[in-house]
Structure 1
């Protein structure tokens, strides 16, 4: 089960040929795969030596055989693969045999002649057990790989993680990184992780899915159908070159994050292959266009021509086919120019909030709104809101009382009837951190308290606003440098000072 389809893989050791063939036929009729059958324990060990310990899940073995009996075979196989499931086949209803087999860790004991129903029942139980064990291993390995990639706490790849990766991808693999929406987008398409081996949501990026894949598809259809379903369809996908060493995954993901951030274009679907150089033609056109438009903007600012100023800003922000980071840098240059012209440099904004808008229309509206606010010298006079009814303390109090809910910067701004870009800017200026980082810190601070009180990781995740407990564990590890289980055991208590907010 560890390498491909979830199908029970069985080896049969029975010295009587007709009985062995009959058992094989019955086993295969029940949907299991007989990878090898033999009449000798010695041939069994030769097969395992040649094909590896992970080539089978279950051993069906006769007790009474010449040269090497079944108990000796079981003992030898258990030394090689302790977690193997063993079914003893015997024509002797002898309690002593059963007792010795139990001591060796035998899973089941079947008497010959074997009934089809009895064999079916045994195979079903073993299949469920092996499947659960395999998924538990996969989940632990996926978590270990995620923590390794984040680079916090104990970041080394465990031996079993490396073993599983190499077993699943014997000839190598590719890293696929799928970003939905903007870099810090609110689009929670991966709240529940997708099925698949080594496929997980990146901590603090609920819209970024990282997975290891066997091969790159001929036609990437990620996000296809989103528009038909009335959902935002922007996605940016990064495919690495082929990797054979699991230790190289972390560096690959770092490169991929940089490429995704530098390449995404809102409302356009982009697929990037690490092995290909990206075209720079559009960027050259953009540089020339922006240079000319920026000069015109500067002249209009000096002349105080409000309509022309708005026109130039809008034309710059609506330029197509350049990466979002380019437009964000252009926006910051525009704001710098406005602040410089108005002699109001202390209001220069933080840019992170720009990365939260998942569509081009949202981004343009928010950026235009912020720019026009600065153009109106009398609109903001240093207060959080002109009439003084709303203070930043009220917003912080709202976060700290409702951190277990689905809180966002945009939703909070709408709740308090505040301009969202203004809220982001003032929040960063007053607290020294962004709105989202503050929310995460509040959630993790309360998670630490709940873990100390004895709640499980799953219970804690639910109570601090995370629907996905595994995603919560990764965010917790990134902030605290240890897993929730490790913190609960005491290894992270000394790091509570990180959350003094």
Structure 2
């Protein structure tokens, strides 16, 4: 459904068009109103508009000037012009600014609906084209390197995919790697000479190093590489078409190629690189573990030395400490809390506690690690929401001040889930209170400023986007703001007709209708009789 903005310096005409035509039947969800070109631009800046219906002759910014400004910023908005003059120059300028239609006043309702329906159809066709398969493929091709990098970084960070989902992504990105085929990982660090160059020359040298690697491996292997956050290059190496090799055959052959890579980089680029190679594994298994082990090996076994080639052949020994994985797999707990994804938070913590119980049930250190990770994520989220942990946690906050006192994983799990439930309830209550407060402000403003009250003036008063304000008001009251204003105006007018001696035109003005004839029409539609008949009865 689309959003329509009607602009005319005759408020009664705008309100008549906005409320008395069946817009929803032609695909219009919301109708906004403006009484000048400047007000129209303010609405355009505050909320997305799809179709503009504007009069040409308005004081200040004319309709033609308005669509000229709109074209410079919102190229996809469909513009329909209304004019009381059959003037060729107006029509010519309308065409120059790509107006969808040029209609002469007075205009029949059906003709206007057809013009807007035509604009809706054109929008449908345009966005259908933009999201079409061929357009998507073209966009995908343009962004292929970025998307490939993003997928590989996701795998290195531990994100998991179903075999079918991964195969689909690899095919979509035109990658030849085959799930479950053997692969090796190679971590490459460019060293001193390369980073002594200018930024431009350094980028060119990095590109050259990756080209040499591609040249050396391309005949027998498929390569997929990305630069990580530590400025290492990570290469995934697999036999052509996922060819099945003898156990560890891939590792030994890749080691020879890696030594050649170091040689040619030094020979032709005058610099050194250090490399860490992992054991052969089935793609994409153990990618995160292999990547983290390679990073640790660089730090602990190569360090600041230059030109090293290290092949990792040993497994982690029993009894050695290791890090938790589920707790640090994306998306992180801190990001899920920030987004308020409570079901995903519960799922992630269940996985983290399950891993803790299965692998580190006797390790108090890992319980502490989990505890501190949860508390730091919670404190960040609570403070970002402008709240105090002591208010959320109550007496449980003392637990933080005195330090963790958990002896079992079950105790930590129960404590965590209780705190999260309390936090979730507090946020829900805060949202509800905020919305009810907004509804109260809307109604107070409308009651005391009925003459000029509109969606735009109310939204400005409560400092909210008109579209967002409409949604939360209807969500809380079951009634749209425009419907509420119309009802309030009619009820106020009826009360004044019963209790005052004001003239009909005076009452019309007091409830926001500049034209008495339009007020009488709307009143009769609501009560079935005219204001005078209502007063007489």
TM-score normalised by the chain length of structure 2: 0.30
Higher relative contact order (CA 8 A, sep 6+): 1
In our comparison, the structure showing a higher alpha carbon Rg is 2
Structure in which a larger fraction of residues adopt helix = 2
